[in-house]
Amino acid sequence: MQNIQIWHNPKCSKSRNAMTLLEEKGINVNIVKYLETSPSKEQLKDVLKKLNMKASELLRTGEDIYKELNLKNVIDEEQLIEIMVEHPILIERPIIIKGDKAVIARPIEKLEELLK
C-alpha cells in the first residue's frame, strides 16, 4: 500500500477519528503534527493541488486569528498561503495524503473513499 500521511492535530476530534480509522485498517501512517512544525509554502501549495482547492477553501474561518487578521476579503492565493504557513491553526484538518491525492476527512467518509 502507498504511504499515507496525515496532517494531524491530536486535540481535534475529527483528526483523532481519522487516526482511529487508519489504525483500525492497519494502515501505517506518517503523522505530521502541523501545528508544531508548520508546512512550508511549497508543501502547502502541493497539498492544495492534491486537494484540488484554493487556499481560501482550506482556511478555518471560525478561528479567532482569521477574524483578527480580517481574512474574509483576502483573495490573493500567495498571501493566504503565507498566512497559513505563519498561522497553521488556520489550516483545515485533518488532511490525509495518499500519492497524488488528498482529502480533508470531514466527514470521515471522504477518508474511506481515498483508501479504496
Report the catalytic residues: 12
DSSP-derived 3-state class of residue 102:
strand
Helix (H, G, I), strand (E, B) or coil at 96: strand
How far apart, in whole angstroms, are the C-alpha atoms of residue 35 and residue 91?
9
**Which residue type occupies 63?**
E
Helix extents (H) in 7-108: 13-24, 41-51, 64-68, 77-86
- Grid cell for residue 70: 480580517
Dist CA 105 CA 95 (whole Å):
6
